[in-house]
Structures are given as structure tokens and as C-alpha cells.
Structure 1
Amino acid sequence: MAEYRLEDLARASGVSARNIRAYRERGLLDAPRRVGRAALYDDYHLSQLNTISELLRKGYNSAHIAEFFESIRQGADLADILGLQRAVLGRDAEESERHGGPVHIDPHGEEGRELVRYGMAEVVDGRLMMVDDTAAEILDRAPDPALYIRALVRFVEGAQESVDALAEAFVTNLTEVYHARVGVDRLPRPEDSDVLRQVIEDYRALGDRVMAVQFAKATRRHMVASASGYTAGILLDGAWQPRRGA
């Protein structure tokens, strides 16, 4: 999950830093995670701001929106909607606070910049820190970390289009379920929220399985094709000679 400083969150959401502070003071926006003196926001806060902005566009003022957080509207309050959004976004920033560990490469070098650009690492106190435990463990034991990092970057670049298509299918199907269960432009009832939250979790699990299974199949297909081409090349070049019997 991405993290933002106040200025970054303002830029991503289109909400001024001043208004973000005001939303926090009025209880509309959850408190950020504190790291020393720095306040860090995440995608959940961005989702909250988008919801607040949408309600403002529909004619609600700040006082009305505050009531949404505190009282029931059509059987559910705004916190229920944000609860569904939290299920879509995954773990909270607090649950993801532990970083995978440092990577012993120059954070300002090409590999370090690529890791940061793709959100796989961040610079903390001048050191490059991975944000994923498994990736950190693999890179820590890698005989050539730079080689592994280049492979990791290629994996991310190669997966972007497929993952984006999967995410689009996820949201499309989830929207259909929501409209069928709740209706268009309506807030869910408490019992609807429980069902929808379970659907979201199940869809996420199915999406993870689809990616894992399809990746395994595609990897095997490409490995077989590569091995076949390599073997054919040896035979055509005459580099292989059959062993003669004794």
C-alpha cells in the first residue's frame, strides 16, 4: 500500500493540505501513521478524501458529511462504506508497518531508484529498505543482488498490464454485485456490508489464485519453448555428437 506525506496526499487527491488538516480536526479523516515527526498517510486516507469530495460535489456540506460518520443514513453510515473500501485496499498501514529490511545497494544508483519508483523499496535514513519481507529475504541471500534486482524490476514491468486488467475485472464484477445487492446510488445496510465485505475478500483470494496459476502455466510454457530452442540450436550447429559405444 502506497504511503504519502501531506503534500503528496494533497497532490494525489486534489484536496488542499489546509482542507486535509481541517478534515482531520473534524473527525472526517483518520489520523495518519506517525514515524518520528513525520505524518504518513496511505491509500485508505486517499479513498476517504475521494469519498468526502464526492459527497461535497453532491451538495453535502462539511457538517452533513460529519453526520454521515456519526449517524445512520439509509441503514448504514459512511464508516460502513469506508469499511468496504478498506477490504478492497487490503491491510491497514499499521499492519504493514514492519519493513522487509535493508538492501545493501546505493539508494541513488540505477537499481535503487528503480525499486523506489515501482514502490518496492523506500529510502529510510539514507538506506534502501524493502517494503516486502519475502523480497528482502531473497535479496539478502542473493549471490548477486544487482542481478536479482534487475530481474525483479522486469517482473514488475511485465506484470503491470496483466495486473491492471485483473484489477479492472475485479472492480467491474464487484460493482455488479453491489448494484444487485444494494442498488445504484444507495448506501448498504449493515447486513449488506457484511456480505459485500466477504465477497470482496473472496474475490481478492480468487484473483491471487488466478495470477499464481496463470503465472505457473505461462512460465512452464516459456521454459519448454526456450529449452526446445536451445536444444535445437545445439543440434543444428553440430555441437552435439552422440556417444559411441565402448
Structure 2
Amino acid sequence: MAAEAEFTISSLADESGVTVRTLRDYSVRGLLPPPEMRGRTGFYGEEHLNRVRIIGRLLERGITLNGVRSLLEAWDRGDDLADVLGVAAPAPSASSQPTDLISEKFIAATDLARRLHDAPDGLRRVVTAGIYEPSDATTYRVANSELAQLLEELVADGIPAAEALDEVEQLRADCDHIARKFVDLFEQTSVRTFRRSAHAPEDIDRLAERMSTARSRPGRVATALIDEFVARHLAYLVARDLDNMPPGRG
């Protein structure tokens, strides 16, 4: 098992896209848990990075820092949805019909909570994963329609919400890993060439052109490879089941 990532405050700022000053402000306001101190250096982990990303998404939705703090404190206490949002979240029942969460851009927080009722910390996880984001105290917005649709389809097909969310989170992590690989290659080639150049206008234009290509190529390459592998694995799966069918069937 890979060791959990560790960050100094500077590397956490780089990874999260916020400034060191902002991170210190979050700490002072109680939004960010204290780091693990080793000597005079504080070390942050994945939990801190996810926390910073959640804070950013909440702020983007117009929620004030005080409101963000209240919401995070409620999550940290393990409060249920009614405690966090101040609304009554009805318990799921056999007679209740699942809500189509993707049919509308905005969904009720209670509907989202009902769908994720068996996923521990599900509300926080879908926000961290960028699948949904709070719009206000009682409403959530679909932030990534493809991931949200996949999550809903997995649940509709009978996979427990907790397992479905695990799969979607892993898929997102795999895609992020692929993206980072392409960015590393871009840095090793185009960026390195630019750094060695005279930074003339034509050098800047060439870098911009290569950056445009670098933004679109990973999706094309990954899509082609995934389609190829999916077709291959599906063919193998179907062939294996057909071979195992009793004589006279099919």
C-alpha cells in the first residue's frame, strides 16, 4: 500500500492552488486542522488537501467563511443531514421511489442524502470528488454530470451506494494520475525547451500552441485506449460465458 502523501505548507499551497497566506488564514479561522509537527516543520496529509478543496468549492458557491466553518464543524462532529442543514431528512423506505438526480441541474440535499444513506461520510465525499457541490443550505448542484450519472446508474443497477462511490472515486483518481503523467511529459519536453529558449515572441507562441495540443491530446489517447480495452474485455467476458453454457442452450 502506498504511503499517504505528505505536504509542507508550501507544497500544500502548490497542490491545492491557494496561497500559503490563505492556508494560514484557514488555520487561524479553524477551518483547517493543525498539521503534524516534526521539530519546527508542520506536515499536512491528504485529509488537509481534501479539506482545502472542499472549502474552495463552498466559497465558490457564495457561502461565507463563517458558513463554511459551521458546515465543516458539523461534518467533523458526525452530525446527520438534519443537524448540518437544519432540515429533516426522511429515512429511506421500501415504498420510496428513487429520485432522478441527474434530470435537474439542482437537487434537494435531502434527496442526495437519501441516495447516499449507506455511504459513510457520503455527502462530504461527493463534494470532495467534485461530483456535487452545495448551492445553498438545502440544495446541491451537479458539478460533474458524467460522474453523477455514473454514480446514479451504478446504484440503480443494485450496487450499494458506498461501493458505487468507491468505484467513482477510484475512477477519478485514475484519471487524475493519467493527467499528471501527461503534464509531466509536457514539462519534460515543451516547457523544458521553452526554459532554454530566448523567450522571444515566437518561443511564446510555440509554447502556447503546444499547450493547446497538450490539453486535447490526453483525452483522445485515453478514449481510444479505453475503448479498445473495454471492447477486448467485453468480448472475452461474453465468450467465456458462452463457452460455459450447457449444451442445447443459446
**Higher Cα Rg, which structure:** 1
Larger RCO (CA under 8 A, 6+ residues apart)? 1
